[in-house]
């Protein structure tokens, strides 16, 4: 497909929910699904309906709730899984079954105890069976990252002939390097008849910290759907982070792609998922971490105060993160101290600023961060009267 739109397939409610301790009930899944629809994702993978009665109910309720977004249910290449998913998706305005099977030698011989020929037969049968329930069937070649490209092309060719509308090429174990993954997608684009009639999807795990890079490389190789989760949550080291892919596509205009996601909702979406799934967002997480727009070293603070673009490539307000923050530590400089003192209604002359800075450093060397409380005390001591924060 030559369109420059990259479809965002969110699997927070399925792959994301596989994280121990993050299980959601139906009400929470519906709440997050509504928010994802509002955020502008194209597909919500709501769960794995055959896995439990609770997940069947959740996929059913999400299907009833969403009106403009494709609702997807995961299955193995097993008739009963597919039938159950078909039932759960019955009420969806747009339903998709996501079925598939392992294609790497590791999975074929050591997990499925099968043969390459049998795997193709099972994949084809699953896709054909799923087409009895929905018109939109996505096939995943599990562990495609470690699958030989020639065999992968053979599998993908056959499942497209069987009726797959989307073909997912997961790097299930987060094994690939970006160039390798890009070449894999490009190879399929160049060697599979009928591939121009379907969407190629990326699904990258983060075991080597390369999920986002691999997903973008996949897009450059010809993929037009990216599977991802809010905050990058998921099995082991997680999945591709939705917020990273969306913002990389937006900021790197050269790539010339776009998504339908509204960036301004990214931070509130991140907080909602973190809260409901009991998963703290690491402070240095790109786009949505508490420190993503915080500056604490003197050189950076001075640079940002002169011109935000010196050290920020994204306007924090554009992703719903408010304003840049200036954290005061022993590495901070006079510019940030002056800036923070203004919030106490104090306009410092150069002489005062220099003297106050020495007082500030004494406190800063003793604590991890100089808070507003500390600063109020430093200013009060310096001026010999109580100074409270004004704004």
Nearer to ligand KIV, 167 or 364 (CB): 167
Specify whether the CB–CB gap between 142 and 114 falls below 8 A.
no
The pair of three-digit structure tokens given for residue 271, joined into one six-digit string: 């907080």
The rounded distance, in Å, linking the Cα atoms of 215 and 228 is: 9
Q: Which residues contact 243 (CB under 8 A, 6 or more apart)?
A: 230, 231, 266, 269, 270, 286, 287, 288, 319
Please choose which of ligand KIV, Zn ion, none residue 107 contacts, taking the beta carbon within 5 to 8 angstroms, the exact cut-off set by kind.
Answer: none
Q: How far is the CB of 316 from Zn ion (least distance, A)?
A: 30
Q: Which residue's Cβ lies closest to Zn ion?
A: 15
Backbone φ and ψ of 163, nearest 5°: 120, 10
Half-sphere exposure of 114 (CA within 13 A, CB side): 16
C-alpha torsion angle, residues 379, 383, 386, 387 (rounded to 10): -50
Nearer to ligand KIV, 168 or 186 (CB): 168
Q: How far is the CB of 158 from ligand KIV (least distance, A)?
A: 18
Q: What is the DSSP string of 241-271?
A: BHHHHHHHHHH-GGG--B-S--GGGHHHHHH
Nearer to ligand KIV, 172 or 324 (CB): 172
Please choose which of ligand KIV, Zn ion, none residue 142 contacts, taking the beta carbon within 5 to 8 angstroms, the exact cut-off set by kind.
Answer: ligand KIV
Q: Which residue has the tokens 């590495």?
A: 331
Specify whether the CB–CB gap between 82 and 133 falls below 8 A.
yes
Nearer to Zn ion, 170 or 263 (CB): 170
Q: How far is the CB of 230 from ligand KIV (least distance, A)?
A: 16
User: Residue 273's closest CA among 44, 7, 42?
Assistant: 44
Nearer to Zn ion, 15 or 17 (CB): 15
Please choose which of ligand KIV, Zn ion, none residue 302 contacts, taking the beta carbon within 5 to 8 angstroms, the exact cut-off set by kind.
Answer: none
Q: How far is the CB of 205 from ligand KIV (least distance, A)?
A: 6
Please choose which of ligand KIV, Zn ion, none residue 45 contacts, taking the beta carbon within 5 to 8 angstroms, the exact cut-off set by kind.
Answer: none
Binding stretches for Zn ion (CB under 5 A) = 15
Nearer to Zn ion, 98 or 154 (CB): 98
Binding stretches for ligand KIV (CB under 6 A) = 15, 140, 142, 168, 170, 172, 203, 205
Return the SS3 of 120.
helix
Specify whether the CB–CB gap between 189 and 160 falls below 8 A.
no
Nearer to Zn ion, 212 or 301 (CB): 212
Please choose which of Zn ion, ligand KIV, none residue 138 contacts, taking the beta carbon within 5 to 8 angstroms, the exact cut-off set by kind.
Answer: none
Return the SS3 of 162.
helix
Q: How far is the CB of 233 from ligand KIV (least distance, A)?
A: 13
Q: How far is the CB of 202 from ligand KIV (least distance, A)?
A: 11
Long-range pairs of 24-32 with CB within 8 A, sequence gap ≥ 24: 24/58, 24/276, 24/277, 25/54, 25/58, 26/54, 26/57, 26/58, 26/61, 28/276, 29/58, 29/61, 29/62, 30/58, 30/61, 30/62, 30/65, 31/272, 31/276, 32/272, 32/273, 32/276
Q: How far is the CB of 22 from Zn ion (least distance, A)?
A: 14
E strand or H helix at 156: helix 149-162
Q: How far is the CB of 141 from ligand KIV (least distance, A)?
A: 8
Q: How far is the CB of 107 from ligand KIV (least distance, A)?
A: 10
Please choose which of Zn ion, ligand KIV, none residue 12 contacts, taking the beta carbon within 5 to 8 angstroms, the exact cut-off set by kind.
Answer: none
Please choose which of ligand KIV, Zn ion, none residue 140 contacts, taking the beta carbon within 5 to 8 angstroms, the exact cut-off set by kind.
Answer: ligand KIV
Neighbouring-strand partners of residue 96:
72, 136
């Amino acid at each position: 497909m030559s369109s420059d739109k990259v479809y965002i397939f969110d699997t927070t409610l399925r792959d994301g929910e596989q994280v121990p301790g993050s299980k959601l009930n139906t009400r929470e899944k519906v709440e997050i699904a509504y928010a994802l629809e509002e955020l502008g994702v194209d597909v919500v993978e709501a769960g794995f309906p055959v896995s439990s009665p609770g997940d069947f109910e959740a996929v059913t309720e999400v299907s009833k709730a969403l009106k403009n977004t494709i609702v997807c249910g995961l299955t193995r290449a097993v008739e009963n899984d597919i039938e159950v998913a078909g039932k759960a998706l019955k009420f969806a305005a747009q339903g998709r079954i996501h079925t598939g099977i392992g294609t790497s030698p590791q999975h074929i011989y050591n997990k499925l105890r099968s043969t390459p020929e049998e795997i193709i037969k099972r994949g084809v049968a699953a896709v054909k069976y799923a087409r009895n329930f929905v018109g939109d069937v996505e096939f995943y070649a599990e562990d495609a990252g470690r699958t030989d490209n020639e065999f992968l092309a053979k599998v993908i060719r056959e499942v497209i002939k069987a009726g797959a509308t989307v073909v997912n090429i997961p790097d299930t174990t987060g094994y690939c390097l970006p160039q390798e993954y890009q070449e894999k997608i490009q190879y399929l684009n160049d060697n599979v008849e009928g591939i121009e009639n379907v969407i190629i999807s990326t699904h990258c795990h983060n075991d080597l910290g390369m999920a986002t890079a691999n997903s973008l490389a996949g897009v450059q190789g010809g993929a037009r759907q990216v599977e991802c989760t809010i905050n990058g949550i998921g099995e082991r080291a997680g999945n591709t982070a939705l917020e990273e892919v969306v913002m990389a596509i937006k900021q790197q205009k050269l790539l010339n792609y776009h998504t339908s996601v509204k960036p301004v909702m990214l931070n509130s979406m991140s907080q909602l998922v973190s809260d409901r799934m009991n998963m703290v967002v690491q402070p240095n997480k790109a786009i949505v971490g508490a420190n993503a727009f915080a500056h604490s070293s003197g050189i950076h603070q001075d640079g940002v105060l002169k011109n935000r673009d010196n050290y920020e490539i994204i306007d924090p307000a554009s992703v719903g993160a408010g304003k840049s923050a200036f954290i005061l530590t022993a590495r901070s400089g006079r510019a940030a101290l002056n800036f923070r003192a203004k919030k106490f209604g104090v306009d410092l002359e150069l002489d005062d600023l220099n003297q106050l800075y020495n007082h500030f450093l004494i406190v800063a060397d003793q604590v991890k961060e100089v808070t507003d409380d500390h600063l109020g005390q430093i200013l009060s001591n310096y001026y010999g009267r109580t100074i409270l924060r004004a704004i």
